[in-house]
Amino acid sequence: MVETFYEVMRRQGITRRSFLKYCSLTAASLGLGPAFVPRIAHAMETKPRTPVLWLHGLECTCCSESFIRSAHPLAKDAVLSMISLDYDDTIMTAAGHQAEAILDEVMTKYKGNYILAVEGNPPLNQDGMSCIIGGKPFVDQLKRVAKDCKAIISWGSCASWGCVQAAKPNPTQATPVHKVITDKPIIKVPGCPPIAEVMTAVITYMLTFDRLPELDRQGRPKMFYGQRIHDKCYRRPHFDAGQFAEAWDDDGARRGYCLYKMGCKGPTTYNACSTVRWNDGVSFPIQSGHGCIGCSEDGFWDKGGFYERVTGIKQFGIEANADKIGGVAVGVVGAAVVAHAAVSAIKQSRRQQGDASEQNK
């Protein structure tokens, strides 16, 4: 179980040759010369796994449940071979002060080098005590662990936006992570929950390329949140042809026509559901007959009923915009995959900062 990254890659059928090629791509993408390739290879073969501290605030644990559904890589390999999941109260053996002691140990030993993953969010009403960990408000634990972390992953719509407990009137004042922690890089991976393979891809991307994924202006990885579900929906031709399901279980529904008139939020939702799909690619909500409810969007609970038609869709100028967005997304994916384009680290960071032109909202 304690395989290094290299061993995991080998076991997944990647040859030594491919591994070295991958190391050279990594070197190039980091702006390093070929001389660094053996060093990167050595590090991949021997380096300790990155500690991850996974905290839970107000949430429903759907993000953890989604994470363990990952098929590639298997959750088992992600947890036991790629990262070191040292704290996660949903699966860890230890409880009480033995559990709390782990936080202190990792925070000291790996100061500045551990990843903080947050599922759920801190409530600020009731003195913060509507989410209590170890007798204290969760927000205290969050701030304490965030202090010396390398980066934060905000799993799911709770950590990213607030999600259901923050829906009006938000009785506990549930607050997304980025409004509480403002001095750390935060990667938002929204969705209720996010797709399992997107979650593990974000983690493995960071480990593989040793950098944060490129984020859009809202802090989401562009590679998975750069396009609307509608843009790549397999029912899109029916939308373009004006063929719609008009009622549940009518002829249109049985023929797999577009669900726009049934309230589908695919046209306004940025996520990978229509491409990556769910649970090892088996299906996604639209394929199984229900419209998208927009669960990866900020405040989706308060944007009208799930069966109300998205209004003002025309103002999006579907075709023109979809093409434009599509072009950008291809560029982003291309940048990630074709790392030998020798993008320098400096250029990389510059691109991460200001790219309003690529914004699509």
| 7-36: contacts with another protein (CB under 8 A) | none
Under the criterion CB under 8 A, does residue 242 sit at the interface with another protein? no
| Alpha carbon distance 92, 330 (integer Å) | 39
* 144 CB-near residues (< 8 Å, 6+ apart): 103, 107
Which residues make beta-bridge pairs with 339?
A: none
Residue number with CB closer to another protein (158 or 328): 158
User: Which of 171, 327, 331, 334 lies at the binding interface for another protein (CB under 8 A)?
Assistant: 171
Q: Which two tokens stand for residue 82?
A: 């790629």
Binding mask 307-346 vs another protein (x if CB under 8 A, - otherwise)? x---------------------------------------
**CB of residue 209 vs another protein: minimum separation in angstroms?**
22
User: Which of 28, 40, 59, 213 lies at the binding interface for another protein (CB under 8 A)?
Assistant: 59
Residue number with CB closer to another protein (30 or 201): 201
User: Which of 25, 26, 44, 56 lies at the binding interface for another protein (CB under 8 A)?
Assistant: 56
Residue number with CB closer to another protein (169 or 354): 169
Residue number with CB closer to another protein (29 or 271): 271
Query: CA dist 272 to 79, 229, 296, Å?
Result: 23, 7, 10
**CB of residue 73 vs another protein: minimum separation in angstroms?**
11
Buried b (16+ CB within 10 A) or exposed e, 294-318: bbbbbebbeeeebeebbeeeeebeb
Nearest partner of 337 among 232, 223, 255, judged by Cα: 223
Residue number with CB closer to another protein (167 or 313): 167
Sheet holding 83-88, edge to edge: 83-88, 50-56, 115-119, 151-155, 186-189
| Alpha carbon distance 149, 153 (integer Å) | 11
Residues 102-121 touching another protein, rule: CB under 8 A, are: 102
- Is residue 131 within 8 Å of 140, Cβ to Cβ? no
Sign, CA dihedral 17-19-21-23, equals negative
Under the criterion CB under 8 A, does residue 92 sit at the interface with another protein? yes
Residue number with CB closer to another protein (96 or 354): 96
**CB of residue 81 vs another protein: minimum separation in angstroms?**
9
Choices 88-96, 143-151, 206-214, 217-225 (CB under 8 A): range interacting with another protein: 88-96
Under the criterion CB under 8 A, does residue 79 sit at the interface with another protein? yes
Residue number with CB closer to another protein (30 or 273): 273
| Alpha carbon distance 150, 53 (integer Å) | 11
**CB of residue 266 vs another protein: minimum separation in angstroms?**
12
| Alpha carbon distance 305, 334 (integer Å) | 37
Under the criterion CB under 8 A, does residue 289 sit at the interface with another protein? yes
Residues 110-169 touching another protein, rule: CB under 8 A, are: 123, 125-138, 140, 163-165, 167-169
What type of residue is 181? I
Residue number with CB closer to another protein (68 or 151): 68
